[in-house]
Amino acid sequence: MGEAIVITSGKGGVGKTTTSANVGTALALQGKRVCLVDTDIGLRNLDVVMGLENRIIYDLVDVVEGRCKIHQALVKDKRFDDLLYLLPAAQTSDKSAVKPEQMKKLVDELKQDYDYIVIDCPAGIEQGYKNAVAGADKAIVVTTPEVSAVRDADRIIGLLEKEENVEAPKLIINRIRSHMMKNGDMLDVDEITAHLSIDLIGIVADDDEVIKASNHGEPIALNPNSKASVAYRNIARRILGESVPLQPLDEENKGVFSKIKKFFGVK
């Protein structure tokens, strides 16, 4: 029996889809069977970020309405051998095409076959959000170091805490610009975590490579040399229960940090 993780944020454009794609990919890289579920019906793009758009035949709404079997709708990622699948959202319907109960049934069915179901949640707190959360066991809230994104994250955490079947949510702070944080022009990591008072599961630096990779339909997590990639892989390892220290944000500090870590024998 696998577990379902919903990736949500409240605010749009903070990187839910990118995070879903990369966390899913990173979990698959760790040898887990992963199914990505796009619940952004009507505005799907997880398939684009994963580079699987051309292979979509059936979608989530087709499954829910009984036009096909689940396995027919699942798109296999060829880069992984039978580890990573995507259940795409429909582009032609809207959020009301699916009910939370149907979503829960679907996710429960997927949990039989996969270790992790990563659910990409649409922005907002309406129907789409309710669908995405319905089947989830765990939740990850994505935010950026901006006041508006943090405010919405706070709201969404409040809503998630009311969901009985969802564990206490974890936080990812995305698009960190270390120089702005250092100058105090951006909320810093400690400030955000203290404000939201939930556990931090990862920080991801703002990286041009992420956008580049997304545009090529190739999740950054596949590229081992990028900083963001390491961040996503670390998040996957933390989901699997490993304790991995946070990446140092600063290039300059990096040297010092790694020296200290080497000194103490930490990898």
Partner 1 sequence: MKKNQNVTIKGTKDGLTLHLDDSCSYGELKKELDLKLSESSRAGEDRLISVRVQVGNRYLTEEQQEELKELIRQKKNLIVESISSNVITKEEAEKRREENEIVSVAKMIRSGQVLEVPGDLLLVGDVNPGGTVMAGGNIFIMGALKGIAHAGCHGNKEAVVVASLMKPSQLRISDCINRAPDKDQDDEKREMECAYIDENEQITVDRLQVLMHLRQNITRLQGGS
Distance, CA of 3 to CA of 111 (rounded, Å)? 6
- Would you count residue 166 as binding partner 1 (CB under 8 A)? no
Contacts of 77 (CB under 8 A, 6+ apart): 28, 50, 52, 83, 84, 85, 86
Of 184 and 224, which CB lies nearer to partner 1 in the complex structure? 184
- Would you count residue 154 as binding partner 1 (CB under 8 A)? yes
Q: What are residue 139's DSSP bridge partners?
A: 6
Of 155 and 212, which CB lies nearer to partner 1 in the complex structure? 155
Could you tell me which stretch among 60-68, 138-146, 153-161, 235-243 binds partner 1 (CB under 8 A)? 153-161
User: Are 124 and 143 spatial neighbours (Cβ–Cβ below 8 Å)?
Assistant: no
Instruction: Give the amino acid at 95.
Output: K
- Would you count residue 236 as binding partner 1 (CB under 8 A)? no
Lay out the site mask for partner 1 across 96-135 (x = CB under 8 A, - = otherwise).
----------------------------------------
- 12 marked ligand binding residue: yes
- 13 marked ligand binding residue: yes
Secondary structure class of 132 (helix, strand, coil): helix
For 205, phi then psi, to 5°, come to: -75, 150
For 3, phi then psi, to 5°, come to: -130, 150
- Would you count residue 155 as binding partner 1 (CB under 8 A)? yes
Write out the E strands in 52-168.
75-76, 84-87, 116-120, 138-143
- Would you count residue 195 as binding partner 1 (CB under 8 A)? yes
Secondary structure class of 180 (helix, strand, coil): helix
Residue 159: both structure tokens together: 């809503």
Binds partner 1 by CB under 8 A, chosen from 54, 92, 183, 197: 197
Of 56 and 125, which CB lies nearer to partner 1 in the complex structure? 125
- For residue 43, give the DSSP letter: S
Could you tell me which stretch among 11-19, 57-65, 129-137, 146-154 binds partner 1 (CB under 8 A)? 146-154
Distance, CA of 22 to CA of 231 (rounded, Å)? 10
- Would you count residue 250 as binding partner 1 (CB under 8 A)? no
- Would you count residue 152 as binding partner 1 (CB under 8 A)? yes
Instruction: Give the amino acid at 31.
Output: G
Element (H, E) at 199: strand 199-205
**What DSSP assignment string belongs to 60-91?**
HHHHHTTSS-HHHHPEE-TTSSSSEEEEPPPS
- Would you count residue 182 as binding partner 1 (CB under 8 A)? no
Lay out the site mask for partner 1 across 34-73 (x = CB under 8 A, - = otherwise).
----------------------------------------
- Would you count residue 163 as binding partner 1 (CB under 8 A)? no
- 14 marked ligand binding residue: yes
- For residue 245, give the DSSP letter: P
Could you tell me which stretch among 41-49, 66-74, 149-157, 201-209 binds partner 1 (CB under 8 A)? 149-157
Least gap, CB of 192 to partner 1 (angstroms): 12
Binding site residues for ATP, as ranges? Answer: 11-18
User: Which parts of this chain interact with partner 1 (CB under 8 A)?
Assistant: 151-152, 154-155, 157-159, 161, 195-197
